[in-house]
Structure 1
Amino acid sequence: MVRTTSIMQPYFLASIALITMMLVFAITQLEVTETHLMPYLEKSVPYIGAVPTTEGLDGNGILVAVIDTGIDYTHPDMLGFGQNGKVVGGFNFINPNQLPIDTNGHGTQVAGIIAADGGTNGVAPAVRLLSYKVSEDGEGVRSELIVSSIQRAIEDGADIINISLGVNKTNDAIDGAIAEAVERGVIVVVAAGNDGAQQSSIGSPGRSPPAITVGATYNNLTSSSVAILNINDVPYVAIPMVGSAVPPDPIESRIVYAGYARESDFNGLDVTDAVVLAERGSDKPGELLYFSIKEKNAADAGAAAIIIFNNKEGMYYGELIHNYTEPGYTPRIPAVSMSNKDGLKIINLLPDVEAHLMFLHDPDHVAPFSSRGPTLPFIKPDMMAPGVHINTTTLSGGYQAVSGTSYATPHVTGAVALLLQQHPSLTIEEIRSILTSTSSSVIGQEGSWEDPHNAGSGRLDVQAALATDLVVYPSILSASITPLQRTDTIPVHLRTISGDTLERVSIHVEPDNGYITHEITNDTVIITVDERLQADARLTLTYNNISHVIPIKIHHSNGTIHATQENGGLNMEVSYPEKWDFAKITLSSRSGETYETSVTPSRGSFVKVFDSGIYNMQAEISVGTQSYTAYDSILVDAVSENKTIWYDIIIPWRQVIIIAVLSGILGVFVVFVPRRSRVFNV
């Protein structure tokens, strides 16, 4: 195995500007001392339904490994290092001769959300921690240290691993180490990353199929305002600036461009009751035009609101209240930030542009920085948790307000600890199913439920997860509609944790337009999706007054994948309405197993598989110079027992020969036989 040398970045670094701004806002809102705890963690923990003292669960007996910058175990809420402390062990991969104490703060902040026990309580305050220090200053960490720390956590007997750092690309070594940990029975919870709101922005380890990947929503605070902006009926991403005025009613008005929103930029410009569009910064060297100045100038000119778009690529997080605002300044109109790309797009649409802007206090929205999918073939993130304005433990016995998916992740880690304490025999897939299916809905900008590629199944609801007796598998459904497969039938398997007979399960589908039908037989719900259904859907199963919501992703494509089980493997074929040359098929299991094979119109392929479960299938079909993608999934319940058997793969020889001729390699043919895509060690 080739040793990788890529550098990992703690996710909080990718959003350091966001964190700084939010900290300034928190400090201006609350009086803070080293001994006075801000109530933010006390907001997020009850908000997700984690009330250990009343439920009788606190994570006792569960060992959690935190792979990060170390943990400051001298913090009163960490109770010390060693068998009598909360941090019972670990390893310093930066300096093996020293204990894994945190000198940066990130690891201590993560650990506090999981298990703080003192001035504040984490989600699972009785959990014991292992501290694996893989970064000294938070500037980065070599990927081999992540792999080594995962292996060490397995050896040290961790029940759960929390990884709140990563990269914005795929790292096979890390993903392989996670797959090995899960195969050994260790549950791995990872951060989605802070590279949102761009699509396909989740990297490793967030892309790892067997890991539980967590994105961030807002916290349950009065400052958790969300802007819903539609321009000419098209939704745009807009972020309320810290300290912004909140309109009591939606604003519907024309948009007027006002340059950099200097006072002089409004001369001769009628912006009365309009939404002003302005650019961030200035075009004059040395000129400081704070957001507060732009807001004041727009308000003085009679504007109803101001949109300030970035002066460079990407999104930003604005702050109206800061140390340089004029004495007595108070924001008077709503102010939101926007990306450079969207701002320039709106300028090109002027003057016939109408804006509809409204603010909501609804924490169940995706935080703008939270990384998004898709990460085919599986949906990531798996779920969400509060990751904005989270106050937690930090260095020197203090507390700090922080934001990022780094801090959403430990909420889920703590929830996993509570579930393991309650039901020690649960598998990772059962835990994933319980946590994701009982999640609360996350709302998109249009006011409907958010795309699973952005928010997974929803926001963590610990109370519902601990109360349910139902396990649903799979917890996210994928339907494939093609010209040859105009309906898709998907089985959903149910079982009770207690072993009680399953009865009185109510079923509801959205949209309820007749395009999705269902029937239940014993412990299986059969879902049939009709080709007329174009958008994603949801299945809701209610058992003992607990609702389980299952997202249904709809794939429409021209190609059809045919897979049938036989003798511990799958017979694979592909159909396409036009003449096609060959297709490469990738099968991916939730456990991290990947199988690849090729088929042609005249010859299929047989692939032996060694793990049962849901396999997502993706075919890249070559049609002349073009390539088209087809999707499907299959539940494999009969597998091969001999893992050393080679796959009987049919290679598209015509294409191999063509490539060989073009390469001038006529005398030698090398046949590559796909193997299981697994990584054990670097």
Structure 2
Amino acid sequence: MEKKSQKPLRNTVSELLCVICTLFLLVSLFSFNALAEDSNDKISASLSSKLAETSATEKVPVIIMLPDQQISFTAAGKEKIESKQKDLITFLETEKSKNNVKDIKPMSIINAVAASVTPDVLASLTERSDVSTVELDAIYSIGQSETSSVETEASTAQESTAWGVDKIGAPAVWQQGITGKGITVAVVDTGVDATHPDLDDLDDNPSTTDPKVIGWVDYVNSESSPYDDHGHGTHVSGTISGTGANGIQTGVAPGTNLIVAKVFDASGSGYLSDCILGFEWAVTNNARIISFSGGSSVHSTAFADTINNVVAAGVIPVVAAGNSGPASSTINCPGDELNSCTVGATDSSDVIAYFSSRGPVTLDDQTYIKPDVSAPGVDVTSTLPGGGYADWSGTSMATPHVSGTAALILEENPTMKPAAVKEKLEDTSVDLGSSGKDNNYGSGRINAYDAVFGGMPVASFTAKPTSGKVPLTVAFTDTSTGTPTKWKWTFGDGKTSTAQNPKYKYSKIGNYTVTLTATNTAGSNTVTKTDYIVVVSKPTASFSASPTSGKATLTVKFTDKSSGNPTSYKWSFGDGAISREKNPTHQYSQAGNYKITLTVSNAAGSSTISKTNFIKVTTNTRPGIYAESQ
């Protein structure tokens, strides 16, 4: 009886345990699915989608946002943020010891912590009062639509200045002494080849120590020295700051310094958290501009907050629009953020590139136009690792043109705020496409000169002829840029003119310094050419020599004593030899009497003088006897 009664009991216990286990699994499964499908706004939509395909033991990369997002990014603010994050980080470290968490990364530019966590840990995070929202730490990239041509050797380059640099008018800014000196630009990208001749120093002088790349951090491989295992970051850096030392002037602002954060790997991809940390590092290291040629089609609240905090810290975020065109509403994040200076790509004919992402953008119940401006982004020549060049296309290539132009603006206007720089870039752009700002071109293709100087002209001129005999009539031609409306010429002899292209007669010989001041409503600019016009009379040839006689071998120093400002000389020494030096030295090795002839010339004409038997050379074998020169 006893045995019979125990058997059913054991069966009952076993069945009960099975039921309990089944219920436990069902509850666990329900809880996990509920987390994935939770409408709780603590979990972003992209993270919910990721959870639906994640196992219970897999660690998901996330960004955990804390409630206090109004703390300013200052030394005091950073200390406050660290205090706010302390309990959360302690929790994550404890779970890390249980192998439930890895890669904990605190952030200060936003009040957030990135980490890779299991679904169970994520469930616990959503229940914490010090967690506001959690979003997927998504993969960002440089854009797979970009194309590159065959690499270009410096020695065979067909252009001395990259077409995009010319197109936006950067050389006219350099002529005024503005090259981006003293401005630091952060390149948040795949890295940089800091040994490229165009990027290794500021003045291209190997005897000086003035590196161009003055800061480096590697969030991918933690290497201590700059490198670029993709090439994208080096290409971007060359368009911002290349000096042209190796053959092609690629840089819009060659006087700038660079700091570089590597956030993308050799394939051109990287975590959102590393991109945000790169922005944070750039601000901490005194960048005035951040050039970011990357993004994602999925909007990130964390990156949007980063952009706003970067701007609040006084730094300009210049961001690629993306390469998902020509469809509308394809602007990538963080270019979709209102405060980003978002850049589209144009070709050499000022036509929007087919791949350039278009607006509009709708975020937070607000719809607005993007991009903000456009810049050259098709077949752009710039630097590659190893000292070479290549033509690449993409909004990534357009973005550094704008970053370089922003640096030129800041050198001229060092206290200008980010919003004002962005406004200046837009207000001075060449309006393309539909009138006004539109969702293809933004406000238009940037104009570096107008952006820096506000439309003020750059004075320039030519003249023909620049030398000749008195009286000399010269035709001056105004070649100023920036659409001047008034001109003032000073011809160097006290006379002036207000004509745009005057003709002027010089009635006295002399060297004349000419000055032109060009003016429009934005201001005036002056150019001076010293001793530019040379007015001469026909010269009169004259010369002396020392010695004029002696024994062979005899060395004679000839001295020009011509009047009338000759510019060219021809000497005949009587022994078949000639010279075109002004004051030549000649050696006579044979005895004889030599006839010397000098012809001098200038723009007014020429004059010749000959002196027969002027040089007399004797020999020791027959003293007193001279052989006639032939």
Larger relative contact order (Cα-Cα within 8 Å, sequence gap ≥ 6): 1
Larger Rg: 2
More helix by share: 2
The bucket for the TM-score relative to the shorter chain is 0.3 to 0.5
